[in-house]
């Protein structure tokens, strides 16, 4: 009887191991790039708020320097201030300082920092260092894998640089913002792995929140997303975020879709 | 292959490498993998090692079956490093060791070509032919398994990663080679 139980446990282990997903769509996990690898992303964001539809394109390159240090460089282009133009760029670095790996679970923790530039004037207290504001950000990411479920939490604090020369009279001039998120991911397909060619299909649900400490304005968004992974190298994301609660005015990301393609090149750096 | 129960080895390396005659193949269990992309990254990382002739993945179990090139110097520490480079950890490594009349002393220790192997569960016997053994050194098993093993191994050398062999103190972790 005991043997049967142990055998059953081993089988469950074999079939659940490696099935959780943590390649979140709206946030970054504690660790995503292998050493000496390059990832290339192209992201399209569409926003339906201010005043009509506007869109942004974000090309991005990611590099894994070693098992702990990863870096991303992004460019931002949009038609948000009239004609389609280059609006800025961002550098993001992430250092993984804790890895506790077990057969069917792991816990990772990383510290991250970001510096961004943008030539856009500000219309909202919502500091968004991926296109809308110039500034710096620092924070922590904790990612936990529990069998099929992967959970991740990000805590960040951002400071926006002054941009008096581009400031529009009467518009808010945000200084600082707290950001927090809770992400969950679940792999739906394949049920049984056979080879690298099988497509993976994942579903995500993320909660994305920010609070402006000076005004007390805040919001919380709900962001569902789906993802396909092809040939174990290419990833396609489609997500939508909408506001569940909040009192922050003139937000761009309030109702936004995100469409992304990512291509990974493993072990290409010397 | 001999039908012996799996040994637990702690190997004290004087030389960094083992020759291919000593290890023919290995089953590498990788922990922390979460998707086929992660397995693919690990596979590509392992394939950069010049002493490996093939890597066959079992994606369901997160096991990579490694076969080694004949007459190549095999460095299992590099195998561990490549897994960690990809972002993951070694959860277990069971290798087929080829022994030729190797005597394990009453302390569970055997010397082969300058490498010292410590057997966790074998004493005072002679090994001949292919023996399947798991490496139970730190970073070759999961953190929880290492803690458990350290409590039962009854060896200061295991937990500390240093040991006295022939009157000389040696540091031998990460891969020192305690075999099970």
CB A147 within 8 A of CB A18: no
Give CA–CA dist B52/B72, Å, rounded.
9
- Name which residue leads in pLDDT, A149 or B47: B47
Give CA–CA dist A204/A184, Å, rounded.
6
Instruction: Please give the DSSP secondary-structure letter assigned to residue A123.
Output: -
Determine the distance in angstroms separating the CA of B15 from the nearest CA of chain A, rounded to an integer. 26
- Name which residue leads in pLDDT, B30 or B166: B30
Identify the pLDDT of residue B165.
55
- What radius of gyration do chain B's Cα atoms show? 16
Q: Do A266 and B32 touch (CB under 8 A)?
A: no
Mean pLDDT (whole number) for B18-44? 81
Single pTM value for the model: 0.81
Largest CA distance in chain A: 77
In terms of DSSP bridges, do strands B115-119 and B178-179 run parallel, antiparallel, or are they unpaired? Answer: parallel
Mapping DSSP to helix (H, G, I), strand (E, B) and coil, where does residue B152 land? Answer: helix
According to DSSP H, which parts of chain B are helical?
A: 36-46, 76-85, 143-153, 156-160
Identify the pLDDT of residue B18.
59
Residues of A in Cβ contact (< 8 Å) with B44 = 34, 266-267
Complex-level ipTM beyond the 0.90 threshold: no
Identify the pLDDT of residue B35.
75
How distant is the alpha carbon of residue B174 from its chain centre? 10
Determine the distance in angstroms separating the CA of B30 from the nearest CA of chain A, rounded to an integer. 8
Determine the distance in angstroms separating the CA of B136 from the nearest CA of chain A, rounded to an integer. 15
Please state whether the peptide bond connecting residue B171 to the residue before it is cis, i.e. omega within 30 degrees of 0. Answer: no
Q: Which pLDDT tens digit goes with each residue over B141-179? A: 887 787 777 777 666 666 666 555 555 555 544 455 556
Number of residue pairs across A and B with CB atoms under 8 Å? 111
Mean pLDDT (whole number) for B18-39? 79
Band the pLDDT of B19: cuts 50, 70, 90.
Answer: low
- Name which residue leads in pLDDT, B24 or A117: A117
Give CA–CA dist B102/B98, Å, rounded.
10
DSSP notation for A60-88: EEEEE-SSSEEEEEEEEEE-TTSS-EEEE
- Name which residue leads in pLDDT, A99 or B102: A99
Give CA–CA dist B85/B179, Å, rounded.
24
Q: Can you list the residues of chain A whose pLDDT is less than 70?
A: 1-21, 104
Q: Show the CA angle centred on residue B28, arms to residues B25 and B32, nearest 5°.
A: 170
């Amino acid at each position: 009887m005991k043997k049967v139980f142990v055998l059953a446990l081993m089988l469950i282990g074999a079939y659940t191991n490696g099935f959780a997903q943590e390649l979140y769509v709206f946030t970054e996990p504690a660790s995503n790039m292998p050493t000496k690898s390059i990832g290339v992303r192209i992201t399209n964001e569409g926003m339906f708020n201010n005043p009509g539809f506007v869109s942004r394109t974000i090309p991005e390159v990611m590099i894994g320097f070693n098992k702990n240090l990863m870096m991303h460089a992004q460019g931002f282009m949009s038609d948000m201030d009239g004609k389609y133009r280059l609006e800025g760029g961002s550098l993001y670095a992430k250092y993984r300082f804790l890895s506790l790996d077990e057969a069917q679970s792991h816990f990772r923790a990383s510290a991250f920092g970001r510096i961004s530039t943008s030539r856009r004037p500000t219309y909202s207290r919502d500091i968004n260092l991926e296109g809308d504001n110039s500034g710096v950000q620092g924070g922590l990411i904790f990612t936990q894998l529990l069998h099929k479920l992967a959970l991740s939490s990000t805590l960040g604090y951002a400071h926006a640089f002054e941009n008096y020369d581009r400031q529009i009279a009467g518009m808010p001039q945000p200084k600082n913002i707290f950001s927090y998120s809770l992400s969950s991911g679940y792999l739906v397909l394949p049920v049984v792995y056979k080879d690298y060619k099988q497509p993976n299909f994942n579903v995500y649900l993320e909660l994305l929140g920010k609070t402006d400490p000076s005004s007390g304005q805040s919001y919380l968004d709900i962001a569902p997303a789906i993802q396909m992974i092809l040939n174990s190298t290419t990833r396609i994301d489609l997500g939508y975020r909408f506001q569940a609660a909040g009192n922050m005015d003139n937000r761009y990301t309030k109702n936004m879709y995100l469409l992304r393609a990512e291509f990974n090149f493993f072990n290409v750096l010397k | 292959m001999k039908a012996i129960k799996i040994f637990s080895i702690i190997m004290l390396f004087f030389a960094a490498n083992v020759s291919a005659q000593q290890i023919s193949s290995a089953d590498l269990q990788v922990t922390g993998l979460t998707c086929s992309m992660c397995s693919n990254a690990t596979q590509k990382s392992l394939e950069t090692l010049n002493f490996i002739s093939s890597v066959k993945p079992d994606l369901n179990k997160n096991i990579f079956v490694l076969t080694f090139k004949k007459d190549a110097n095999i460095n299992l520490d590099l195998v561990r490093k490549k897994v960690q480079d990809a972002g993951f950890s070694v959860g277990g490594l069971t290798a087929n060791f080829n022994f030729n009349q190797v005597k394990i002393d009453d302390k569970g220790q055997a010397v082969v070509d300058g490498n010292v192997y410590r057997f966790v569960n074998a004493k005072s016997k002679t090994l001949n032919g292919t023996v399947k053994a798991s490496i139970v050194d730190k970073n070759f098993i999961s953190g929880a398994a290492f803690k458990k093993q350290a409590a039962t191994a009854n060896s200061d050398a295991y937990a500390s990663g240093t040991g006295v062999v022939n009157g000389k103190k040696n540091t031998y972790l990460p891969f020192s080679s305690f075999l099970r």
